[in-house]
Structure 1
Amino acid sequence: MHHIKNMVEVNNTKRSKFFAMFIQLLIFISIIIFSIETIPDLEPHTRVLLRRVDLFIVIVFTIEYILRISLSKRKLKFIFSFFGIVDLLAILPFYLSIGVDLRSLRAFRFLSVFRILKLMRYNRAIHHFTRAIRSAKEEILLFIFVTLILMFFSAVGIYYFEHEAQPEYFSSVFDSLWWAVITLTTVGYGDVYPITIGGRVFTFFILMIGLGIIAIPTAIISSALTKSMDRKGEK
C-alpha cells in the first residue's frame, strides 16, 4: 500500500512521474475525443472506437479516484476538496449516460471537459497560480464587489440618460445591465449604444473606468505570483 501511495501522490519518484505523465496523457486524449465527438456526420465505427477509448480512460480515472479516497487519511475532506470534486466530475458524466440517450444529458456530458482541470494537480506553474489566487483572494473579492457596484451604477446612469430616447433598449435598469457589462469590459458589441449627448458623455467616463477595471486584476495576480515565486526562491 505504501508503494501505491508513493506512486499516486505527486513526488519525485520514477513511479510517481510515470503515473503523472500517464494520467496527463489520458486527460489530453479524453479532451481530444470530446472534441472529435462534436463533429457532425461522424462515421459510426469511429464513434464506437472513440467510446471504447473513452471507456478505458474512465476506468483508469475511476481506479485513480478510488485509490485516492482509500489512501486519504481524511476521506470526506478529500471527497469534498477541489481535486476530489474534479476527479468525480471527470467520471460522473460517463456513468450518468449509461443506458440513457446522451441527447437528453447534454449538460452532464459537458462536465467531461472538467477532466482538463485534473492537470492542475501535476503542473507546478498552475500550483504557483492557485497559491497566488489564494493569497490575493481578499483583494480579488473586493475588486469583484466594487465591479458589481460600478456595473449597477452604470446601468442606472445609462437608464436615466437613454430611457426616453431608446425605450426598446433601455426599458429598465435590468435591460441596461447588458450595456453596462459590455461597456465596462470594453467589449462594445455595438448592438446597444447611447444616442443622447448626456448618454455619450456618461459612456466616455464609464469606458475610462472600464480600462482601469481590466488592469486591476492583472496587477493583483501578477503581484501575488511574484510573491509566491520569491517565497519559493527563499526556500
Structure 2
Amino acid sequence: MRSGDVKQVLYEVLEDTGGRRVAARLLRQFLIFLIISNIALAVVETVPEVHAFLGDHLKLVQLGCGAIFLAEYILRLYVADLHPPLRRFGPIRSRLRYAVQPDAIVDLIGALPLLFVLFLPDQAVTIVVVLRLLRFFKLARYSPALRSLISAVAAERKALLGSSMIIFGVVLLAATLMYLIENQHQPEKFRSILHGIYWAITTVTTVGYGDVVPVSNLGKMIGGVVMLMGYGLIALPVGIIASAFAREIHSRDFVVTWSMVARVPLFEDLKATEIAEVAKLLQALSVRKGAVIAHVGDVADRMYFISDGEVAIKLPHETVYLGQGSFFGELALINQTPRTAAIIADTDCQLLVLEAGALKHLMDRDAALAKKIMEEARARAFAGKKVLGELAEEELQQAGVFASADEIREEPELFADDGRETEKDPA
C-alpha cells in the first residue's frame, strides 16, 4: 500500500469521513473509554493509600495512555492537510491552521502530560494533574450533545454577560447596604464592602454557610429580600442556556434530517420548503441490535433514514451494510411491492421512517409537490434505473457497491427486466 493510501485510510478512520465506519467507530469507542479511564485514574491516584499501593502501576498506565494520546495528536496533525477546508493551504500552512483549532488544542493538552513527565518529572506535578483532568474536554469531539452545549453557550454569550452584570450589580448593592447597616453591630464580620460581597454571594446563590449573618432587624429584612431575589437571579443564566441548548439541538436535528431527505433522488428537485414538509412526516424508530426491521415478503411501504447505527440488507447473493446518514427503501414509496431482502439491525439503530401513506396524504394536499415527485419517479423509470434487490443505484453507491448503469449494461445477465437481480449461472 502506498504512503498516500495509508494517509487516506488514517484520515478516514480518525475523522470518520469515509467508508471505514466500523474501524472509525471502534477507534472512537476505544478513545472514549481511554479518556474516561484516564480521568478516573488521575482522581483515584490522589488517594494516599491507593498511590502507595498501586503508584508504580498507575504511573505505567498513565504513561501508556499519554503515549496513545500523543500518537493520536501527531497522526491527526499528519492528516490535517486532507481536510477539505484546509487543502488549499498546502502541507505546512494547513497543519498550522489545524493546530490552532479548538479540537487540536484540546488534543495537544491531552498529550502534554506525557511530555511534562518525561522532561520535567519533579517540577510539574501540579500541572500534570491538572492537564490529565483537562482530558475530559476531549470528549467534546465524540459527544454531539456536549458540542451543542458549547455552541449554545457561545451563541448566548452576550445574554449571559448581561445576566452576569445584573447578578453582580445586585451582589454589589446588597453588600454595600449590609456593610452600612451591619458594620456597627458586627465590625469584625462586616469590616468592608469586600466582606459584604462574600455574604451577598453566599446569599444570592442560596448557599448560606451561616458564618456571616445579619443581626439587626433592618439587616435581616434586606437579607430576606436578597434571598428571594437569588432564586430569580440564578434562574436567568440557567434559563438562557437551557433554551439555547434546546434550540441548538432542534436546529441540528432539523439540519441533519433535512440534508438526509434532500439526498434522496426522488426529492432532490424539490424546494427547501417542500423538503421540510417531507421531513415533518418522519417518525423516529429505535431498533436493538439483531432485530429484524423488515422481513422478506413484507409489503415495502416505507423508506428508512439511518440517523445512528448500521443496518444489514440480506440480498440473495450478498449482504449490503449501510451506516449513519444513509437511506434505503426509496422505491418502496412508489412501488410498494413485496420485499425481496431482509433488513436487520447490525448495531443498535436510531431510524427515521417515512411511510408511503403519509407521503401520499401530503401529495394529495399539495398537487405541485405530487407532480414533481411523480415526474421524478417516471423519469427514473424511463431512464432504466435498475435495482439490486431492495437498493437503487444511488443506495448501492452509498454502501460502496457501485452498480452504475454502465456496469449493468456490461453484465445484463445479473439483472432482470423488472429490475430485480437474477441468480448467476453456476458455471
Task: Name the TM-score, length of structure 2 as normaliser.
Answer: 0.52
User: CA 1:77–1:212 in structure 2 vs 1: closer, same or farther (change >3 Å)?
Assistant: farther
- Alignment CA distance shift 1:100-1:161 (3 Å): same
Counterpart residue identity of residue 6, structure 1: E
State the shift of 1:109 in Å: 2.1
1:132–1:225 CA contact under 8 A, matched in 2: yes
Question: Match of 1:169?
Answer: 189
SS in 1 for 2:50: coil
Q: Does 1:14 align with 2:34?
A: no
Q: Against the structure 1 CA distance between its residues 76 and 180, is the aligned structure 2 distance closer, same or farther, given a 3 Å change threshold? A: farther
Matched residue pairs, number? 235
Equivalences for residues 24-63 of structure 1 within 5 A: 24-42=32-50, 46-63=54-71
CA distance in 2, matches of 1:9, 1:173: 53
2: CA distance between counterparts of 1:100 and 1:44? 22
* 8 Å Cα contact 1:159/1:176 also seen in 2: yes
**How do 1:65-144 residues align onto structure 2 when only pairs under 5 Å count?**
65-72=73-80, 73=86, 74-98=94-118, 100=120, 102=122, 105-144=125-164
Describe the shift of the 1:22–1:167 C-alpha distance in structure 2 as closer, same or farther (beyond 3 A): same
Distance 1:45 1:26 in 2: 22
Distance (whole Å) between structure 2 residues aligned to residue 69 and residue 60 of structure 1 = 14
Q: Which amino acid aligns with 1:165?
A: H
Equivalent residue number for residue 198 of structure 2: 178
Preserved CA contact (<8 Å) 1:102 1:109: no
1:163-193 Cα offsets, whole Å, 9 max, x none, are 1111111101112111111011010010100
Q: Tell me how far apart the structure 2 counterparts of residues 99 and 44 of structure 1 sit (CA, whole Å).
A: 24
User: Bigger CA drift: 37-46 or 85-94?
Assistant: 37-46
- Greater alpha carbon shift after TM alignment, 136-145 vs 100-109: 100-109
Distance 1:79 1:158, change over 3 A: farther
- Report the more deviating stretch, 68-77 or 117-126: 68-77
Is the partner of 1:42 in helix, strand or coil?
helix
Q: Hey, what's the Cα distance between the residues in 1 that align with 2:182 and 2:106?
A: 45
Q: What is the CA–CA distance in structure 1 between the aligned matches of 2:127 and 2:214, rounded to whole Å?
A: 37
| Distance change in 2, residues 1:219/1:43 (3 Å) | closer
Instruction: Name the structure with the higher helix share.
Output: 1
Instruction: Indicate conservation of the 8 Å contact 1:10/1:122, yes or no.
Output: no
CA contact (8 A) 2:148 2:248 kept: yes
* Residue number in structure 1 paired with 2:179: 159
SS in 2 for 1:139: helix
Deviation at 1:46, TM superposition (A): 2.1
Query: Counterpart amino acid of 2:126?
Result: R
- Unpaired segments of 5 or more residues in structure 2? 1-6, 81-85, 87-93, 256-427
Paired with 1:4 and 1:53, the residues of 2 have a C-alpha distance of: 25
> How far has the Cα of 1:111 moved from its partner?
2.2
Cα RMSD for the two superposed structures: 2.1
Q: Which residue of 2 aligns with 1:64?
A: 72
For 1:202 and 1:220, the matched residues in 2 are separated by 27
Say if 1:131 and 1:228, in contact at 8 Å, map to a contact too.
Answer: yes
Report the Cα offset of residue 106 of structure 1.
Answer: 2.0
Q: C-alpha separation between the residues in 2 aligned to 1:210 and 1:32? A: 35
Counterparts of 1:138 and 1:10, CA distance in 2: 34
Residues 135-144 or 75-84, more deviating: 75-84
Structure whose alpha-carbon radius of gyration is higher:
2
How far apart are the structure 1 equivalents of 2:139 and 2:168? 31
* Higher strand residue share: 2
Q: Which moved more, 1:55-64 or 1:88-97?
A: 88-97
**RCO higher in 1 or 2 (8 Å CA, sep ≥ 6)?**
1
Q: 1:101 to 1:231 in 2, by over 3 A?
A: closer
Change (3 A) 1:98 1:137: same
Partner SS, residue 189 of structure 2? coil
Q: Distance in 2 between matches of 1:209 and 1:176?
A: 17
Q: 1:201 to 1:220 in 2, by over 3 A?
A: same
Displacement of 1:229 after TM fit? 2.5
Q: Secondary structure at the match of 2:49?
A: coil
